[in-house]
Each structure stands twice: as structure tokens, then as C-alpha cells.
């Protein structure tokens, strides 16, 4: 059984190694390309960050598996797999806009066990290990205790394909009048960290990848929250996060009342 605290601290020290360079390069001259659409960006900084993170993790734990967003993959022999987003919120990074982060999660036997999300611009460090709670800059954090959906501040994000974005906007027409307000910051990992520390009351988004949610799931659960899909089952690419009582059931009911393709 790996020491989860040691894994969490390794993830945090690794994120700290790349964060200063990302903060220095944000909004500057970057070699930028697109992936699935014109809004799905990747930069030379993403690739540098991913390579550096993978190297540091592999040096520290050579038997672990590693999966990264931009394609770096290592097949290991241990029961630990690292799931890495080297820059979550690349569009924000390109524009020098706050809301991007480094996200490093670790799974144990396929289950999320460690999560670290670091904000290079604002300096916030979110960290959690299964059974050991969640912290922001070393201080314990808890999810919001808001129970009334009409008083809830929600975070969400949009997909990359134009037709999906249109349907998501249509869904928000139904959701927005029922809540306090909606925030769209452009980085799912930091949105999840915001749920964990109570900076927003809930988060929902469809079509997320494993590297988008690996770290955030642990943070939210260890901060007392619940994560699930739109049906209330285990998360896949469809992700909802909130406090487990009151707000979650009301939010799921609202999201299900909206065409599933729209949210």
C-alpha cells in the first residue's frame, strides 16, 4: 500500500517545479497549435510542462504508470497511475488570463487517491489525499453548505465543438434563472478546486477527460463534497460536484430537466 501522503507531497513538489516557468510565460510569445477544433489549443509550454512533470514523477517512482493530456504515456508495474494535465485552461494561459492550472492526480488500483491543483498566477495550492482531507495553501478546506439552489453560485465550462457549445448555451437559458449566478472561468480543474474550498457552490460539465477530473475528484470528496454524473451515478465524462445534501439533489433534478445534450 503506497503512502498516500508521500504521493500527495510528490505531486505538490512536482507542480511547484513547473509553476514559476508557466507564470513567466503566460500571455507571452508562444508556439500555439489547435487540436480538436479552433478553440482547443495546445502550446509549446503545455508540451514542456508535460515532459517535465512526467520526468520528475518517473524519476521519483519509476514503476508507476503515467497518463498525460498531450500524449505522454508510461506503462508501469505498480498499482499507481499518475493522471496529468500540464496546463488545464490553455486558452486562459495563452491570453494571460487567470484560471489556468497544473493538475496532477494519482490513482490507486484505478481509484482516485491523490489530487493536486496549483494556480501559477494566483499562487493557490490545492492538495488532497484519500482519507487525509483537503487543503488550500496548507489550510483545511470544506465545500459550501448552501442547500438552496436559488442561492447557489455555479461554475461550468463549454466543449470545443461549435454545435455542442450552441446546445450548452441553450441549456444555460433554462438553468440561469433558477440559480444565483453562473461562472465560466475556462478551467475545469480550478472550478473543481473552487467547489472544494467553497469559492463556488457547485460545478457541472459534460465531456470531460480523465486528466480534467483526476485531481479535482479527490479534492472535492476530501473536502466533504460529492461527485457524480448527471444520473447520480459514478462520474464518467459527465461531472457534477456539490455538497452531498440538499443542493446536489436539487441541482441534479434541474440538470436532468434540461436536454442532456445541452449541458
Phi, psi of 124 (to 5 degrees): -70, 135
- Which H helix or E strand runs over 15? helix 4-25
C-alpha of 200 from chain center: 14
Exposed/middle/buried for residue 42 (C-beta within 10 Å: 0-12, 13-18, 19+): buried
Q: How far apart are CA 123 and CA 160, in angstroms?
A: 28
Q: Give me the catalytic one of 46, 64, 70, 88.
A: 88
Q: Is 64 a catalytic residue?
A: no
Q: Is 44 a catalytic residue?
A: no
Q: Is 88 a catalytic residue?
A: yes
Q: Give me the catalytic one of 53, 66, 87, 220.
A: 87
Burial code (b: 16+ CB inside 10 Å, e: under 16) for 62-84 equals: eebbbbbbbebebeeeebbbbbb
Q: Is 201 a catalytic residue?
A: no
Q: How far apart are CA 13 and CA 88, in angstroms?
A: 18
The SS3 call for residue 54 is helix
Q: Which residues contact 127 (CB under 8 A, 6 or more apart)?
A: 8, 11, 12, 115, 116, 134, 135, 219
Q: Is 40 a catalytic residue?
A: no
Q: Give me the catalytic one of 46, 64, 85, 119.
A: 85
Q: Give me the catalytic one of 205, 212, 222, 250.
A: 212
Q: Is 85 a catalytic residue?
A: yes
Q: Give me the catalytic one of 14, 43, 90, 156.
A: 90
Q: How far apart are CA 93 and CA 180, in angstroms?
A: 28
Closest Cα to residue 239, out of 198, 199, 197, 191?
191
Would you name the residues annotated as active-site residues? Answer: 69, 85, 87-88, 90, 212
Amino acid at each position: 500500500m503506497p503512502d498516500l501522503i508521500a504521493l500527495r507531497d510528490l505531486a505538490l513538489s512536482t507542480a511547484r517545479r513547473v509553476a514559476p516557468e508557466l507564470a513567466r510565460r503566460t500571455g507571452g510569445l508562444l508556439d500555439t497549435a489547435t487540436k480538436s477544433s479552433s478553440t482547443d489549443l495546445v502550446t509549446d509550454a503545455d508540451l514542456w510542462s508535460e515532459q517535465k512533470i512526467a520526468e520528475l514523477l518517473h524519476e521519483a517512482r519509476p514503476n508507476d504508470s503515467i497518463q498525460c493530456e498531450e500524449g505522454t504515456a508510461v506503462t508501469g508495474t505498480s498499482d499507481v497511475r499518475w493522471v496529468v494535465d500540464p496546463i488545464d485552461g490553455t486558452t486562459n494561459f495563452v491570453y494571460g488570463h487567470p484560471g489556468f492550472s497544473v493538475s496532477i492526480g494519482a490513482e490507486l488500483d484505478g481509484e482516485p487517491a491523490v489530487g493536486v491543483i496549483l494556480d501559477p498566477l494566483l499562487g493557490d495550492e490545492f492538495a488532497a489525499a484519500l482519507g487525509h482531507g483537503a487543503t488550500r495553501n496548507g489550510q483545511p478546506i470544506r465545500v459550501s453548505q448552501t442547500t438552496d439552489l436559488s442561492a447557489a453560485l455555479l461554475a461550468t465550462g463549454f466543449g470545443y465543438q461549435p454545435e455542442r457549445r450552441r446546445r450548452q448555451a441553450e441549456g444555460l437559458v433554462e438553468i440561469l434563472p433558477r440559480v444565483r449566478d453562473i461562472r465560466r472561468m475556462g478551467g475545469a480543474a480550478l472550478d473543481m478546486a473552487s467547489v472544494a474550498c467553497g469559492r463556488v457552490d457547485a460545478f457541472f460539465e459534460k465531456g470531460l477527460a480523465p486528466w480534467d477530473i483526476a485531481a479535482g475528484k479527490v479534492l472535492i470528496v476530501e473536502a466533504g463534497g460529492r461527485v457524480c454524473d448527471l444520473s447520480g451515478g459514478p462520474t464518467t465524462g459527465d461531472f457534477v460536484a456539490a455538497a452531498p445534501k440538499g443542493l446536489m439533489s436539487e441541482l441534479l433534478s434541474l440538470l436532468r430537466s434540461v436536454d442532456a445534450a445541452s449541458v
